[in-house]
Amino acid sequence: MKSTGKVIGIVSNLVTVQTFGPVAENELCFIDLAGTRLLAEVIKVNGDRASVQVFESTRGLRNGDAVEFEGKMLEASLGPGLLSSVYDGLQNDLRTMEGVFLKRGEYTDPLDHEKLWEYKPLASVGDKVVAADWLGEVKEGWLPHKIMVPFTFKGEYTVKSLIGPGSYNVDTVVAVLTDESGEDVPVTMVQKWPVKIAIKGYKEKPRPDKIMRTGVRVFDTFNPIAEGGTGFIPGPFGCGKTVLQHAIAKQGEADIIVMAACGERANEVVEIFTEFPELIDPYTGRKLMERTTIICNTSNMPVAAREASVYTAMTICEYYRAMGLRCLLLADSTSRWAQALREMSNRMEELPGADAFPVDLSAIISNFYSRAGMVVLNNGQTGAVTFIGTVSPAGGNLKEPVTESTKKAARCFYALEQNRADQKRYPAVNPIDSYSKYLEYPEIQAYLEKNVGEGWVEEVAEAKNLVRRGKEANDQINILGDDGVPMSYHERFWKSELIDFILLQQDAFDPIDCNAPMERQKYMMDIVLGICRRDFSFDGYEQCREYFKNLINILRQMNYNEFHGEKFEQYREELLKTLAQNGN
């Protein structure tokens, strides 16, 4: 028996409902607006008053309008067909909606129920299984999509019957399981899971022990993110957050990419689904769109669904992780989500925390980041969810609640800097303030030494140190003047410029430079450090500057040309000649 209620107060999308019967925190309800059913979620209950946030515009809603509670929380539908989809924050399929404009109360099914999938069983009759164990498999694009024992199942089950290989739609019963009390339960290819709760169903969550390659040097070389790791990119507007995130989405070494456009520009989403179907995944050679799911709640879409969008995206990632896949979740921007929380908290007249954000903001953020991670599944295989969020700090000031709360939760910090962006030094990641905690993990260090090259970790540290010393030298030059400092200061400064221009900066719009494989990153690092370790002799700072500018120009041309191609080798020759003229 569903509880009912009626509207007794409206402020924008916060509606107060007088309830008749029990309601649960985060329970969904529908508000009837002259025949249009508006979805809403309970966010606070006080006596018989429930405060609900409506996922739609409340224009025209009246006090007295009827409310029907659903007895369940916001759930994601999980099954084959999630990939290549474009969903809104509530997982409505935006592709199947009618008309150019979004209509209130129009909800579409996330999965195609007609489509047939080539299925084969993986379990056997009589097997003892628990939640998240694999029962069968379909091919979703090129990926093996496992059909699992639903995550909501508690205790141990026995496989009673299994359907044979064949083509079936998602609603086909593929297995019947018997629970501990002897009752039979059917399992289809679709299961539902409440998005605000983390999917467990794995054996353990060890520390990450590999890095996830992105082809972006400021990440892979300087501050690598672990597979199953967490990172965040704060930065003022116009510093290249979006370009950097798209580069990672295109080049990130993952089986699945879920992009949550959370309160951001619609044209950025359009860019993804215009370009991704054409672009090729550098690791598999397949179309990028085949491994990508887009969750989009753009800034003009209902505010309350912004919060739902990041949770829906995370739930889809956790689902694929349980299949032993490596997932990358990109959320742009978590600040918009925090602002949505602030708007609701404000309308409920809660006592505000810093900058009027709700006081539990920090707990909400760290709880969300903790859902990422590498896991060992029940069958011993591993899966991972790597999470990178962007943060849009008000006024570009990193001392604000969202940035500070995120810094406590995320292990990698990629600080975008206005100053570098003004100088068009892209990606504008500050090389000194940014960090990756994973570089300190012995497991990751061992992985890098083995897979990139011996001594790599020290090389990275050396390069970072050179950048730091170069900055100090530059500060001195700016204080004392070009003539007021010893020659060695100029040399030190220009060596750091060399690292900046050749290793830190990268042209995201150049077809070759945009994606540097690890081998190439290592090769260029060796060349650049080789130059930095040399001692040069110059007749004055002007000569020093000219010499290094020339070196930078040659090395840039190398970055722009095919690795070890004809042009690349020509520039390398030229570099060797130039180096032979000075220094040893």
Partner 1 sequence: MATKAFQKTYTQLDAITKATISLTAKGVSNDELAVVHGKLAQVVKTKGDVATLQVFAGTEGIPTNAEVAFLGNPPTLKVSDALSGRFFNAYGHPIDGGPEVEGEERQIGGPSVNPYKRRQPSQLIPTGIAGIDLNNTLVSGQKIPFFADPDQPYNQVMADVALRADVDKIILGGMGLSNDDYLFFKHQFEGAGALEKIVSFVNTTEEPPVERLLIPDMALAAAEYFAVDKNEKVLVLLTDMTLYADALSIVSNRMDQIPSKDSMPGSLYSDLAKIYEKAVQLPAGGSITIIAVTTLNDGDITHAIPDNTGYITEGQLFLRADTDTGKVIVDPFRSLSRLKQLVQGKKTREDHSQVMNASVRLYADAQNAKTKLENGFDLSDYDLRCLDYAKDYAVRLLSIDVNITIDEMLDTAWELFAKYFTQAETGIKQVFIDKYWPK
Considering only residues 485 through 524, tell me which ones interact with partner 1, judged by CB under 8 A.
509
**How far is CA 575 from each of CA 219, 498, 500, 541, 546, rounded to the nearest angstrom?**
26, 13, 18, 21, 14
Determine, following the binding rule CB under 8 A, whether residue 188 of this chain makes contact with partner 1: no
Nearer CB in complex with partner 1: 271/573 = 271
Residue 446, token pair as written in the block = 């061992």
Contact range with partner 1 by CB under 8 A, out of 3-11, 198-206, 224-232, 431-439 = 3-11
- Nearest distance from residue 480's CB to partner 1, in Å? 9
90-115: b or e for each residue (b if 16 or more CB lie within 10 Å)? bbbbbeeeeeeeeebeebeebbbeee
d(CA 469, CA 532): 12
Closest CA to 74 of 244, 272, 310, 389: 310
Nearer CB in complex with partner 1: 187/257 = 257
- Binding flags for partner 1, 289-328, as an x/- string (CB under 8 A): -------x-xxxx-x-------------------------
Q: Under 8 Å CB-to-CB from 490, ≥6 apart: which residues?
A: 473, 477, 482, 538, 541, 544, 545
Determine, following the binding rule CB under 8 A, whether residue 273 of this chain makes contact with partner 1: yes
Which residue in 4, 6, 12, 176 binds partner 1 (CB under 8 A)? Answer: 12
Nearer CB in complex with partner 1: 142/237 = 237
Binding to partner 1 (CB under 8 A) within 539-568 occurs at: 541-542, 545, 549-550, 552-553, 556-557, 560
d(CA 322, CA 434): 32
Phi-psi region of 64 (alpha: psi -120 to 50; beta: other; left: phi over 0): left
Which residue in 21, 60, 165, 277 binds partner 1 (CB under 8 A)? Answer: 60
Determine, following the binding rule CB under 8 A, whether residue 277 of this chain makes contact with partner 1: no
- Nearest distance from residue 487's CB to partner 1, in Å? 14
Nearer CB in complex with partner 1: 263/383 = 263
Nearer CB in complex with partner 1: 105/194 = 105
- Nearest distance from residue 475's CB to partner 1, in Å? 13
Which residue in 121, 150, 263, 427 binds partner 1 (CB under 8 A)? Answer: 263
- Nearest distance from residue 543's CB to partner 1, in Å? 11
As a whole number of angstroms, the longest Cα–Cα distance in the chain is 90
For residues 72 and 28, the answer to whether their CB atoms sit within 8 Å is yes
- Nearest distance from residue 394's CB to partner 1, in Å? 6
DSSP state of 583: -
Residue 240, token pair as written in the block = 């290249």
- Nearest distance from residue 169's CB to partner 1, in Å? 24
Closest CA to 24 of 65, 67, 73: 73
Binding to partner 1 (CB under 8 A) within 380-439 occurs at: 392, 394-397, 422-424
- Nearest distance from residue 341's CB to partner 1, in Å? 10
Give the N- to C-terminal CA distance of the chain in Å, as an integer.
84
Residue 493, token pair as written in the block = 């400064």
Which residue in 31, 61, 162, 402 binds partner 1 (CB under 8 A)? Answer: 61
- Nearest distance from residue 264's CB to partner 1, in Å? 8
Determine, following the binding rule CB under 8 A, whether residue 53 of this chain makes contact with partner 1: no
d(CA 205, CA 228): 10
Nearer CB in complex with partner 1: 223/403 = 403
Binding to partner 1 (CB under 8 A) within 336-355 occurs at: 336, 339-340, 342-343, 346-347, 349, 352, 355
Look at the block and give the residue holding tokens 């700090």: 393
Which helix (DSSP H) or strand (DSSP E) does residue 43 occupy?
strand 36-46
Residue 532: phi and psi, rounded to 5, are -65, -25
Binding to partner 1 (CB under 8 A) within 84-103 occurs at: 86, 94-95, 97, 99-103
